């Protein structure tokens, strides 16, 4: 069978997934993901037009709790684990600008 | 306590090196013998009676871990000070005359997928290296409240994605029965630690078989409870509709003991089942007379099954019959599609869950002048190959134009499998199957072929897709001396009948072999 995936597909999906894949990884994934998708395509052949999808094995609806305030995580403790923090907030590099 | 900064967070091999060099006296060498290799129930009994202290039990297990884990590498980090502090609390409580919990002084090894406020939590990933969660997972908090002593965090496939523990971002774990072979995965470190008697109990997570398959390959008992029975709060998410935590132990009774200490409703997990679970430990010995057992044809005759594993299922069938159960075969045709459905659904959910590792709030951050590049470079540097593969697969399956053909279809196949099992449970109380088609394979044997690796989950995945419960019980050794596991399956919320059936098999198989690990046999 022919590979259902092209190199361009893999590059597109990597952009969606925010993964800066290397050249070698793009080539490897094109082959490996193609083989896995071929195996997965076995399910595509089944007739399921009258079968509802299952998103959750044990359905629970409207899980509610009382709206009472509880202490939340300590801000300083949380920020101490961040790669960069400033003035009680997470610090990140420039957000606006041209796409890399 | 000031030693805490120095010792905790290291591997057992590093700690053992410090002890050898005389830099620290990590554990007291004069521990009364005979404390390792006992069950959790025995140890808790001894501690409650005051025959031994929690500290002595802890030291005996730490000492064994330091001596032998260099060979197995089951722990990502060993935690002497954290364990000593917990043991000291138990011993002080006993001295005050307090009532002690069901796991008083029992050492527990915790898969590094559970958040622990006093220990690093890495999920086996470089992207979380050095992260220390601000809270305990509910399961860990409940074990600690029951008196358990956490002695360390165990190795795993990165973010629980794998079947051999070779996908850990740090190092591979060996099977204690043969250190050239894998322990299974993803909870391979926990299974190996219990098999090696570093701890009588361990915690794992099971998304596609990650408790049962390593339990089978390491010759211990491993239970995947019903979805929602054990809180997922504080367990790092992989595939949220499939993830469930559960126990490892050397006996079915210890498995039940650990389960009862951690299960039940948790308001912090909205998928937690609200009803109170029925006690299981008290009903373990009720036997299987009249119980209807169905042997699942499609899983027992699965492609690539090792003859010794097939023979073990036949032995289990005979043992059930001898114990008074009514055994017959049953067909569950749609399980044939389980693997394909799983390897769409699990990566799809993973691709969404792992979006949170973006270099902003915790873990690794790669330097970059702007944020989108920082995200992509951080994820490229921090994730290993299997995690990237599943993120890619899941992102593809959820992307425009493919969603219905892959993800939607897999969800409908999931319904078909649930219906097939419901039909089987009209005629049977529990089902019987192999846990893994083969015994432990050699390190490196499947690392270059992801699809071959996925096939080792074929017998365990149906339980995750249906949200039900299942257990692996040791059934003997193959000709190479490697453990074989057989699996008992029950419907959702069927833990009581499941464990009763497993206890009957355990008594029948009378599996007493242990790995030798450099000791005199």
pLDDT tens, residue by residue, B138-156: 999 999 999 999 999 999 9
Give domain status of residue B438, yes or no.
Answer: no
Give domain status of residue B150, yes or no.
Answer: yes
> Rounded mean pLDDT of B365-393?
97
pLDDT tens, residue by residue, B477-512: 999 999 999 999 999 999 999 999 999 999 999 999
- Residue B91 distance to chain A (closest CA, Å): 30
Question: Out of B226, B380, B393, whose CB is closest to A33?
Answer: B393
**What is the per-residue pLDDT for B27?**
47
Is A41 a residue whose pLDDT tops 50? yes
Contact status of B207 with chain A (Cβ, < 8 Å): no
Domain limits for position B112: 4-281
CA-nearest residue to B450 within chain A is: A32
Give domain status of residue B178, yes or no.
Answer: yes
**What is the per-residue pLDDT for B50?**
96
Could you tell me the pLDDT band of residue B1, with boundaries at 50, 70 and 90?
Answer: very low
Could you tell me the pLDDT band of residue B41, with boundaries at 50, 70 and 90?
Answer: very high
Could you tell me the pLDDT band of residue A60, with boundaries at 50, 70 and 90?
Answer: confident
User: Two tokens at B351?
Assistant: 């691709």
Q: What is the DSSP letter of B404?
A: I
Is B186 a residue whose pLDDT tops 60? yes
pLDDT tens, residue by residue, B196-235: 999 999 999 999 999 999 999 999 999 999 999 999 999 9
Q: Which domains, from first to last, does chain A contain?
A: 1-47 (1.10.20.60)
> Rounded mean pLDDT of B372-382?
97
What is the complex's ipTM, to 2 decimals? Answer: 0.93
Contact status of B83 with chain A (Cβ, < 8 Å): no
Give how many domains chain B has, as a whole number: 1
Could you tell me the pLDDT band of residue B11, with boundaries at 50, 70 and 90?
Answer: confident
> Rounded mean pLDDT of B317-345?
96
**What is the per-residue pLDDT for B31?**
43
pLDDT tens, residue by residue, B264-311: 999 999 999 999 999 999 999 999 999 999 999 999 999 999 999 999
Q: Count Cβ atoms within 10 A of the Cβ of residue B9 and give its class: 0-12 exposed, 13-18 middle, 19 or more buried.
A: buried
Is B33 a residue whose pLDDT tops 80? no
Give domain status of residue B324, yes or no.
Answer: no
Question: Out of A13, A37, A44, whose CB is closest to B395?
Answer: A13
Give domain status of residue B248, yes or no.
Answer: yes
Could you tell me the pLDDT band of residue A61, with boundaries at 50, 70 and 90?
Answer: confident
Q: What are phi and psi of A85, to 5 degrees?
A: -140, 155
Catalytic residues of B: 111, 186, 210
For an interface test with A, the pick among B128, B360, B372 (most A C-beta atoms closer than 10 Å) comes out as B372
Contact status of B333 with chain A (Cβ, < 8 Å): no
Q: Which residues pair with B471 in a beta bridge?
A: B223, B488
Does residue B186 have a cis bond before it (omega within 30 degrees)? yes
CA-nearest residue to B355 within chain A is: A17
Put simply, the answer to whether B274 touches A81 (Cβ < 8 Å) is: no
**Calpha distance B148→B130 (Å, rounded):** 24
- Domain CATH number, residue B196: 3.90.1300.10
Give domain status of residue B221, yes or no.
Answer: yes
Contact status of B337 with chain A (Cβ, < 8 Å): yes
**What is the per-residue pLDDT for B32?**
44
Is A98 a residue whose pLDDT tops 70? no
Give domain status of residue B132, yes or no.
Answer: yes
CB < 8 Å to A46, chain B: 337, 409, 412-413, 416
Provide the mean pLDDT of chain A.
90
Provide the mean pLDDT of chain B.
94
**Calpha distance B243→B224 (Å, rounded):** 10
For an interface test with B, the pick among A6, A19, A88 (most B C-beta atoms closer than 10 Å) comes out as A19
Give domain status of residue B301, yes or no.
Answer: no
């Amino acid at each position: 069978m022919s590979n259902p995936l092209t190199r361009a597909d893999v590059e597109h999906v990597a952009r969606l997934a925010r993964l800066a894949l290397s050249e070698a990884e793009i080539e490897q994934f094109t082959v490996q993901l193609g083989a896995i998708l071929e195996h997965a395509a076995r399910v595509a052949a089944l007739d399921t037009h009258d079968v509802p999808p299952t998103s959750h094995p044990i359905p629970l609806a409207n899980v509610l709790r009382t709206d009472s305030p509880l202490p939340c995580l300590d801000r300083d403790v949380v920020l101490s684990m961040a790669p960069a923090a400033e003035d009680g907030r997470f610090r990140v590099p420039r957000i606006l600008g041209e796409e890399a | 306590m000031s030693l805490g900064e120095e010792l905790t967070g290291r591997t057992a091999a590093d700690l053992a090196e410090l002890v050898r060099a005389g830099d620290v006296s990590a554990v007291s060498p004069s521990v009364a013998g005979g404390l390792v290799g006992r069950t959790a129930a025995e140890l808790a009994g001894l501690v409650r009676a005051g025959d031994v202290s929690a500290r002595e039990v802890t030291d005996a297990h730490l000492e064994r871990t330091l001596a032998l884990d260099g060979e197995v590498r089951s722990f990502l980090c060993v935690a002497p000070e954290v364990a000593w502090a917990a043991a000291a609390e138990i011993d002080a409580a006993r001295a005050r005359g307090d009532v002690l919990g069901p796991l008083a002084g029992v050492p527990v090894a915790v898969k590094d997928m559970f958040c622990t406020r006093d220990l690093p939590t890495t999920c086996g990933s470089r992207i979380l290296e050095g992260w220390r969660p601000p809270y305990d997972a509910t399961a860990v908090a409940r074990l600690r409240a029951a008196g358990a002593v956490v002695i360390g965090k165990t190795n795993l496939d990165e973010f629980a994605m794998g079947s051999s523990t070779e996908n850990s971002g740090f190092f591979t774990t060996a099977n204690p029965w043969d250190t050239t072979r894998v322990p299974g995965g993803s909870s391979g470190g926990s299974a190996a630690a219990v098999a090696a008697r570093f701890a009588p109990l361990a915690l794992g997570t099971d998304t596609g078989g990650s408790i049962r398959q390593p339990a089978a390959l390491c010759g211990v008992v491993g239970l995947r409870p019903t979805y929602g029975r054990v809180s997922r709060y504080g367990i790092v998410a992989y595939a949220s509709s499939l993830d469930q935590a559960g126990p490892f132990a050397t006996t079915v009774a210890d498995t039940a003991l650990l389960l009862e200490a951690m299960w039940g409703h948790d308001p912090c997990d909205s998928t937690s089942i609200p009803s109170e679970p029925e006690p299981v430990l008290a009903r373990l010995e009720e036997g299987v007379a009249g119980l209807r057992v169905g042997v699942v044809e499609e899983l027992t005759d699965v492609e690539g099954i090792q003859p010794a594993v097939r023979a073990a299922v036949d032995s289990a069938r005979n043992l059930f019959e001898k114990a008074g159960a009514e055994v017959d075969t049953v067909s569950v045709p749609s399980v044939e599609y389980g693997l394909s459905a799983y390897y769409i659904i699990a990566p799809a959910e993973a691709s969404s869950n792992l979006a949170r590792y973006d270099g902003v709030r915790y873990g690794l951050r790669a330097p970059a002048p702007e944020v989108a590049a920082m995200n992509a470079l951080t994820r490229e540097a921090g994730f290993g190959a299997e995690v990237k593969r599943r993120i890619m697969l899941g992102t593809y399956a959820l992307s425009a134009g493919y969603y219905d053909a892959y993800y939607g279809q897999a969800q409908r196949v999931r319904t078909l499998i649930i219906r097939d099992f419901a039909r089987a449970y009209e005629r049977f109380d529990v089902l019987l199957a192999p846990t893994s088609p083969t015994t432990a394979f050699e390190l490196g044997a499947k690392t270059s072929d992801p699809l071959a690796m996925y096939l080792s989950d074929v017998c365990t995945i149906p339980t995750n897709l249906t949200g039900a419960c299942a257990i692996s019980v040791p059934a003997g050794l193959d000709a190479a001396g490697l453990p074989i596991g057989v699996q008992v399956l029950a419907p959702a919320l069927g833990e009581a009948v499941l464990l009763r059936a497993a206890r009957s098999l355990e008594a029948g198989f009378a599996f007493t072999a242990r790995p030798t690990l450099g000791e005199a046999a």
